[in-house]
C-alpha cells in the first residue's frame, strides 16, 4: 500500500484508507487510536473507558461529516424543506444508532475487539440527552430518524437544555429527582456553531413610527436582548447518504462581559445580566402538562422559536434571491404541540416589522407556512398565558395577536351573525376569569393544517376541545397516526427478533416495514420458527432479569409472564389500576395456592412530575405492594412486582423487547395516541388495553383475537360522566374490590399506617376522575384471559408473531409519508444522487 499519499479521491488506486472516512475495521481501529491521542490526549495505557468511548464516538462522527456537509449543501439548494419545531427531543444514545445507520456496526465491533475492548461496554458509557419528558419528545426523535431515512431535507429545531429530564432514583419506595448533568463529560455528538447566532429581544415597550415611504410602522424597544447560539447534532438516515440536522439553541448574554458596567463599578450587575440570559436554556420543565404561569417557560418557547425562524430566513436568503416574501414556498414548518405556537406571531413580526411586508400578505405566508399538531385531549393541558405576563415579556407579540384576533373575529361574526357565545369561545383571548392568550387557538388560526395523532384522537378533537375551530375550518383537520422508528426500536434494541425476521422475509422490512413485515404471517404456523421466536424472547427476558437484579436487587424468574407498564406516571394512564390487579392476584393466590395461573412478574417504570403529588404516591404505592408481595415466601415464583427506576430511552431499549404483556390501560378518551403501545407490540408483546388512542388502530390491525380488550369506550365514559358517575356504587357491589380497598386502608401495605395511601383511596371512592372502579372488573377478567392464554405457549407465540407481522403500519416512516402528502407537500431529495 502506498502510505505516502493518503487522500480521499477514489480515482487514486491503492491508497491507505482515510483515517477520517475509512469504513474497514483496520481504518476504524487506526481512527480510534488517533482520536484517543489527538482529541482526548491519552495513550491506551492510561485511557479510561470514557476516553475510549469519546475516541470511538469521534471516530463514528467523523464518518458522518462528509455526508453531512453534502446534505447541508443539498438542503440549501433544495426548493422546499421541512422544519420540525419542538421544545423537546428525546433521541436516546447516539453511538450505536449511528453505527447501525452508517452500516459500520460489525467493522466497529471488530476494530474495538482488536484494541482489547468490549463494544457493548463502551456503548453503555454514553449517557442520553434527556431533552424531553416522554412520548412527545420521543415522537420528535423518531420523526427525525424517518425524515433522514426518507431523504427529506429537514431540520429539527429545539432547545439545548443544560439539564434535561431529571434522573430518577427510588429511596424507601419514593421517587427522588437527581439533576441530569448530561454535558458534564462533554458531548462528542454536537458541533458548536458560534457564527450561527441570533439576537432575541425581550420586554420593553413599542412605539409608533413611520418608515422611509411614510408608512405607519411599529418599533419594538426591548428591555433586554439575549443571544441564541446554534449547536448541531447530525441525524443520519438508515443506509442512505443523507444526514440531517438537529439544531438546538443555547442562550447566552449578548456580551460575555459587560465592561461598561464593570468600569463604573457595577461588577455584580454585569454578571447578573449574564446569569439571567443563560438561565433561559438551563433546564427542561419536567412536567408532561404545561406549567402554569412560569415566565421562564414562555421565555424558552419564544427564545427557540425566534432563533429558528431567523435562521430559516437566513438560510432562505443564502440560496440567492430568497425573499422573505417566498418563505412559505421554501418551508413547511410543523409545530409540535402549542409549545412553539408563538411562532405564528413571531413570523408575522419578522415579516411585517423587520422586512416591511404588508399585513395581509404576511398573514397568507404565515398560514401557508405552519401546521399544528395537537397532542392532548385533557382540557387542563391546553396552554394559556396570562395577559400581564405576556405583555411584560412580549409586548409587540401581544399587539400582533390582538390584531390577528380582531380580523379573525370579524370573519367569525360574518360566519355566525349574533352568536356571541361562539365568538367568546373562538377568541384567541380567554376572557372568562382573568384574561389569557389561548395558544391552541393561535396555532390553529395561524396554520393551514391541524392534526391529531391517532384516528380516535382526531375525531374527539373535532367533537370536543377544538369543536368550534373545526366547525369554522373543517378543511384544516387531518389525522396522522403516530409511529415509531423500526431502526432503533427493533433492529438496534432487539437484534434477536430482527435477525429472525430478516431470515424469514429478507431485510427490506427495515425501511419498507408496512409491506414487507406482513410476509412474516405465514411463519406463525411454522413450529421451528415459533421455537426460535420463543428462544429469542426468553433471551431478552433473561437480559432484563439480570438488569432488574442489578438495579433493584429483586430476583425475577425469566420463565414467568413479564407483564410490563412503562410510561410517565399519570392518573389517566392508571398505573394504580394495574396495582389493584396485583393485589387481587395476591389475595386469590393466598386463598388458593393451587390456582391455575402462570407465574407473573409485573414490571413498572416511569417518572412522575416532581410537583404531582398523587403520581409520586402511586410510585410509593407500587413499591409498597412490591415489598409485601416479594417478601412473602408463598408468592415465590408465583408473583413478583418490580419498579424499574429511571425509565428512559436506553432502559426502554432493554424493556420493550422483554415484554410478554403490554399494559395500555388509560381511561378511554384520554391518551392522544401513545407510542409505547407500538414499541411493545412491534417487539412481540400482546396488548391488554382500552379503546384509547392508537390502541384502536392497533386492535384493527392485529385483530381482536390477538388483543386483550377491556373497559368502557370513550363514548360510554362520556355518558357515564353526564349521568353522574358514582364510584361508590361500583365499590359497594364488588366484594373483591371492596376487600382490596379495605386492605389498603388497613395499612397492610404501609406497615400499619392507614393514612399513607388515603389520598389515593379517597380519590378513587369520592371522585374517581379516571373511572378505575368502573373498569375494574372488566380489567381483572381480561387479565385472567391473558394469563390463561399464556399457559398455552404455542398459541401465545403464534399470537406474538401475528402481532409483529401486522404492526408495520406503525413505523414512523408511514407517519412521515402521510405528513409529506397531506400537509407538507415536500419531495424527498436524494443526497446520494446529487453531485
Question: Which member of 115, 230, 253, 649 binds ligand PLP (CB under 6 A)?
Answer: 649
Among residues 601, 675, 687, 690, the one annotated as catalytic is 675
Among residues 42, 250, 476, 573, the one annotated as catalytic is 573
Min separation Cβ 738 and ligand PLP, Å: 31
Is 652 among the residues that bind ligand PLP (CB under 6 A)?
yes
Min separation Cβ 133 and ligand PLP, Å: 8
Question: Which member of 674, 684, 787, 808 binds ligand PLP (CB under 6 A)?
Answer: 674
Is 134 among the residues that bind ligand PLP (CB under 6 A)?
yes
In the bound state with ligand PLP, the residue whose beta carbon lies nearer, of 107 and 498, is 498
Residue 573: closest CA among 649, 677, 658, 480: 677
- Taking each helix axis from N to C end, the angle separating 295-318 and 49-77, rounded to the nearest 10 degrees, works out to 60
Min separation Cβ 564 and ligand PLP, Å: 10
Q: Which three cell numbers stand for residue 575?
A: 398505573
Query: Is 567 an active-site residue?
Result: yes
In the bound state with ligand PLP, the residue whose beta carbon lies nearer, of 28 and 140, is 140
Question: Which member of 35, 308, 336, 648 binds ligand PLP (CB under 6 A)?
Answer: 648
Min separation Cβ 770 and ligand PLP, Å: 15
Distance CA(585)–CA(595), nearest Å, equals 10
Other C-beta atoms closer than 10 Å to the C-beta of 607 total 27
The two beta strands, 216-221 and 174-178, are unpaired
Question: Which member of 676, 684, 711, 727 binds ligand PLP (CB under 6 A)?
Answer: 676
In the bound state with ligand PLP, the residue whose beta carbon lies nearer, of 543 and 588, is 543
Among residues 567, 570, 581, 600, the one annotated as catalytic is 567
Total residues contacting ligand PLP by CB under 6 A comes to 12
CA 287 and chain centroid, separation? 13
Alpha-carbon dihedral angle through residues 261, 266, 272, 277, given to the nearest 10 degrees: -10
Beta strands in 582-666 (DSSP E): 600-605, 639-644, 661-664
Q: Within positions 521 to 580, which residues make up the interface with ligand PLP, using CB under 6 A?
A: 567
In the bound state with ligand PLP, the residue whose beta carbon lies nearer, of 629 and 668, is 668
| Residue 484 contacts residue 680 (beta carbons within 8 Å) | no
Q: Of 23-31, 130-138, 218-226, 260-268, which segment contacts ligand PLP by CB under 6 A?
A: 130-138
Question: Which member of 679, 745, 809, 817 binds ligand PLP (CB under 6 A)?
Answer: 679
Min separation Cβ 737 and ligand PLP, Å: 26
* DSSP H/E element including 169: strand 167-171
Query: Is 573 an active-site residue?
Result: yes
Largest Cα separation within the chain, whole Å, is: 90
Min separation Cβ 60 and ligand PLP, Å: 22
In the bound state with ligand PLP, the residue whose beta carbon lies nearer, of 284 and 744, is 284
Min separation Cβ 145 and ligand PLP, Å: 13
| Residue 675 contacts residue 482 (beta carbons within 8 Å) | yes
In DSSP notation, 722-763 reads HH---HHHHHHT-HHHHHHHHHHHTTTTTTT-TTTTHHHHHI
In the bound state with ligand PLP, the residue whose beta carbon lies nearer, of 347 and 577, is 577
Query: Is 375 an active-site residue?
Result: yes
| Residue 803 contacts residue 490 (beta carbons within 8 Å) | no
Query: Is 675 an active-site residue?
Result: yes
Distance CA(465)–CA(473), nearest Å, equals 14
Min separation Cβ 560 and ligand PLP, Å: 22
Distance CA(788)–CA(164), nearest Å, equals 42
Q: Within positions 280 to 309, which residues make up the interface with ligand PLP, using CB under 6 A?
A: none
| Residue 678 contacts residue 698 (beta carbons within 8 Å) | yes
In the bound state with ligand PLP, the residue whose beta carbon lies nearer, of 22 and 134, is 134
Q: Which three cell numbers stand for residue 90?
A: 428525546
Residue 797: closest CA among 701, 708, 710, 706: 706
Other C-beta atoms closer than 10 Å to the C-beta of 98 total 22
Min separation Cβ 674 and ligand PLP, Å: 4
Q: Of 309-317, 633-641, 668-676, 820-828, which segment contacts ligand PLP by CB under 6 A?
A: 668-676
In the bound state with ligand PLP, the residue whose beta carbon lies nearer, of 349 and 607, is 607
In DSSP notation, 291-360 reads PTT-HHHHHHHHHHHHHHHHHHHHHHHHTSS--GGGHHHHEEEEEESSTTTTHHHHHHHIIIIIT---HH
Query: Is 806 an active-site residue?
Result: no
Closest CB to ligand PLP: residue number: 676
Residue 282: closest CA among 274, 292, 271: 274
Q: Of 101-109, 198-206, 501-509, 674-682, which segment contacts ligand PLP by CB under 6 A?
A: 674-682
Distance CA(307)–CA(21), nearest Å, equals 33
CA 415 and chain centroid, separation? 38
Among residues 94, 349, 568, 745, the one annotated as catalytic is 568
Q: Of 367-375, 495-503, 669-677, 802-810, which segment contacts ligand PLP by CB under 6 A?
A: 669-677
Is 727 among the residues that bind ligand PLP (CB under 6 A)?
no
Among residues 339, 530, 679, 817, the one annotated as catalytic is 679
Q: Of 277-285, 291-299, 637-645, 646-654, which segment contacts ligand PLP by CB under 6 A?
A: 646-654
In the bound state with ligand PLP, the residue whose beta carbon lies nearer, of 657 and 674, is 674
**Cβ contacts of residue 17 below 8 Å, gap of 6+?**
23, 24, 26, 27
Q: Of 219-227, 253-261, 497-505, 645-653, which segment contacts ligand PLP by CB under 6 A?
A: 645-653
Is 135 among the residues that bind ligand PLP (CB under 6 A)?
yes
Specify the residue for cell string 384544516. 476
Distance CA(686)–CA(798), nearest Å, equals 11
Min separation Cβ 551 and ligand PLP, Å: 16
In the bound state with ligand PLP, the residue whose beta carbon lies nearer, of 135 and 340, is 135
CA 660 and chain centroid, separation? 23
CA distances from 689 to 334, 367, 563 (A): 30, 38, 12
Phi, psi of 57 (to 5 degrees): -60, -45
Residue 578: closest CA among 664, 677, 656: 664
Among residues 316, 375, 620, 640, the one annotated as catalytic is 375
Binding site for ligand PLP (CB under 6 A): 134-135, 138, 567, 647-649, 652, 674-676, 679
- Residues catalogued as catalytic: 375, 567-568, 573, 675, 679
Amino acid at each position: 500500500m502506498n502510505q505516502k499519499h493518503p487522500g480521499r479521491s477514489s480515482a487514486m488506486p491503492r491508497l491507505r484508507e482515510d483515517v477520517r472516512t475509512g469504513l474497514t475495521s483496520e481504518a476504524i481501529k487506526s481512527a480510534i487510536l488517533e482520536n484517543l491521542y489527538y482529541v482526548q490526549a491519552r495513550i491506551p495505557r492510561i485511557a479510561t473507558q470514557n476516553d475510549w468511548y469519546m475516541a470511538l464516538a469521534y471516530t463514528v462522527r467523523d464518518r458522518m461529516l462528509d455526508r453531512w456537509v453534502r446534505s447541508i449543501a443539498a438542503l440549501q439548494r433544495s426548493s422546499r424543506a421541512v422544519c420540525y419545531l419542538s421544545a423537546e427531543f428525546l433521541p436516546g444514545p447516539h453511538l450505536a444508532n449511528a453505527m447501525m445507520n452508517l452500516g459500520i456496526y460489525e467493522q466497529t465491533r471488530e476494530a474495538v475487539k482488536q484494541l482489547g475492548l468490549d463494544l457493548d461496554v463502551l456503548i453503555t458509557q454514553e449517557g442520553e440527552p434527556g431533552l424531553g419528558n416522554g412520548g412527545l419528545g420521543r415522537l420528535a426523535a423518531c420523526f427525525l430518524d424517518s425524515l433522514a431515512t426518507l431523504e427529506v431535507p429537514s431540520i429539527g429545531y429545539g432547545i439545548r437544555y443544560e439539564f434535561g429530564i431529571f434522573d430518577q432514583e427510588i429511596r424507601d419506595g419514593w421517587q427522588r429527582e437527581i439533576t441530569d448533568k448530561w454535558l458534564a463529560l462533554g458531548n462528542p455528538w454536537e458541533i458548536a456553531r458560534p457564527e450561527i447566532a441570533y439576537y432575541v429581544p425581550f420586554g420593553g415597550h413599542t412605539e409608533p413610527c413611520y418608515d422611509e415611504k411614510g408608512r405607519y410602522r411599529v418599533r419594538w424597544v426591548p428591555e433586554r436582548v439575549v443571544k441564541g447560539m446554534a449547536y448541531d447534532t447530525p441525524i443520519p438516515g438508515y443506509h442512505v447518504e443523507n444526514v440531517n440536522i438537529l439544531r438546538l439553541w443555547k442562550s447566552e448574554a449578548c456580551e460575555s462581559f459587560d465592561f461598561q458596567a464593570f468600569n463604573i463599578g457595577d461588577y455584580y450587575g454585569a454578571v447578573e445580566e449574564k446569569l439571567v440570559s443563560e438561565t433561559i436554556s438551563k433546564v427542561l420543565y419536567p412536567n408532561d402538562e404545561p406549567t402554569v404561569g412560569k415566565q421562564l417557560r414562555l421565555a424558552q418557547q419564544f427564545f427557540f422559536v425566534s432563533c429558528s425562524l431567523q435562521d430559516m430566513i437566513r438560510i432562505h436568503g443564502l440560496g440567492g434571491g430568497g425573499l422573505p416574501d417566498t418563505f412559505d414556498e421554501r418551508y413547511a414548518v410543523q409545530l409540535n404541540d402549542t409549545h412553539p405556537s408563538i411562532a405564528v406571531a413571531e413570523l408575522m413580526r419578522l415579516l411585517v416589522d423587520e422586512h416591511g411586508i404588508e399585513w395581509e400578505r404576511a398573514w397568507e405566508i404565515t398560514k401557508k407556512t405552519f401546521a399544528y399538531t395537537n397532542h392532548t385531549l385533557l382540557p387542563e393541558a391546553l396552554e394559556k398565558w396570562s395577559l400581564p405576563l405576556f405583555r411584560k415579556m412580549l409586548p409587540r407579540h401581544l399587539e400582533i395577536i390582538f390584531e390577528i384576533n380582531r380580523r379573525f373575529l370579524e370573519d367569525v361574526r360574518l360566519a355566525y351573525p349574533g352568536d356571541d357565545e361562539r365568538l367568546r369561545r373562538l377568541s384567541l383571548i380567554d376572557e372568562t376569569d382573568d384574561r389569557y392568550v389561548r395558544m391552541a387557538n393561535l396555532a390553529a388560526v395561524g396554520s393551514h393544517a391541524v392534526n391529531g395523532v391517532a384516528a380516535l384522537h382526531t375525531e374527539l378533537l373535532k367533537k370536543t376541545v377544538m369543536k368550534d375551530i373545526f366547525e369554522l375550518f373543517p378543511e384544516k383537520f387531518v389525522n396522522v397516526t403516530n409511529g415509531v422508528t423500526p431502526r432503533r426500536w427493533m433492529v438496534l434494541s432487539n437484534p434477536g427478533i430482527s435477525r429472525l425476521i430478516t431470515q424469514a422475509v429478507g431485510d427490506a422490512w427495515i425501511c419498507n416495514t408496512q409491506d414487507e413485515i406482513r410476509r412474516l404471517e405465514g411463519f406463525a404456523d411454522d413450529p421451528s420458527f415459533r421455537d426460535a421466536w420463543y428462544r429469542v424472547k426468553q433471551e431478552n427476558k433473561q437480559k432484563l432479569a439480570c438488569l432488574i437484579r442489578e438495579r433493584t436487587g429483586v430476583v425475577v424468574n425469566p420463565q414467568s409472564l413479564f407483564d410490563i407498564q412503562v410510561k410517565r406516571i399519570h392518573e389517566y394512564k392508571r398505573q394504580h389500576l394495574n396495582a389493584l390487579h396485583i393485589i387481587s392476584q395476591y389475595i386469590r393466590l393466598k386463598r388458593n395456592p393451587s390456582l391455575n395461573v402462570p407465574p407473573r412478574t409485573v414490571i413498572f417504570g416511569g417518572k412522575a412530575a416532581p410537583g404531582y403529588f398523587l403520581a409520586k404516591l402511586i410510585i410509593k404505592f407500587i413499591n409498597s405492594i412490591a415489598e409485601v408481595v416479594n417478601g412473602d415466601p408463598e408468592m415465590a415464583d408465583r408473583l413478583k412486582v418490580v419498579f424499574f427506576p429511571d425509565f428512559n430511552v436506553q432502559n426502554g431499549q432493554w424493556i420493550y423487547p422483554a415484554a410478554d404483556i403490554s399494559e395500555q390501560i388509560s381511561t378511554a378518551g384520554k391518551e392522544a395516541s401513545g407510542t409505547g403501545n407500538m414499541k411493545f407490540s412491534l417487539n412481540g408483546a400482546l396488548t391488554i388495553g382500552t379503546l384509547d388512542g392508537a390502541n384502536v388502530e392497533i386492535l384493527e390491525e392485529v385483530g381482536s383475537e390477538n388483543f386483550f380488550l377491556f373497559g368502557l369506550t370513550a363514548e360510554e365514559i362520556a355518558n357515564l360522566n353526564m349521568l353522574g358517575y358514582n364510584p361508590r356504587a361500583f365499590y359497594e357491589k364488588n366484594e373483591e374490590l371492596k376487600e382490596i380497598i379495605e386492605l389498603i386502608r388497613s395499612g397492610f401495605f404501609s406497615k400499619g399506617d392507614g393514612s399513607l395511601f388515603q389520598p389515593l383511596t379517597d380519590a378513587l371512592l369520592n371522585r374517581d376522575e379516571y373511572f378505575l372502579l368502573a373498569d375494574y372488573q372488566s380489567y381483572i377478567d381480561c387479565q385472567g384471559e391473558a394469563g390463561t392464554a399464556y399457559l398455552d405457549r404455542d398459541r401465545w407465540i403464534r399470537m406474538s408473531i401475528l402481532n409483529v407481522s401486522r404492526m408495520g403500519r406503525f413505523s414512523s416512516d408511514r407517519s412521515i409519508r402521510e405528513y409529506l402528502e397531506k400537509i407538507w407537500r415536500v419531495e424527498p431529495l436524494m443526497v446520494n444522487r446529487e453531485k
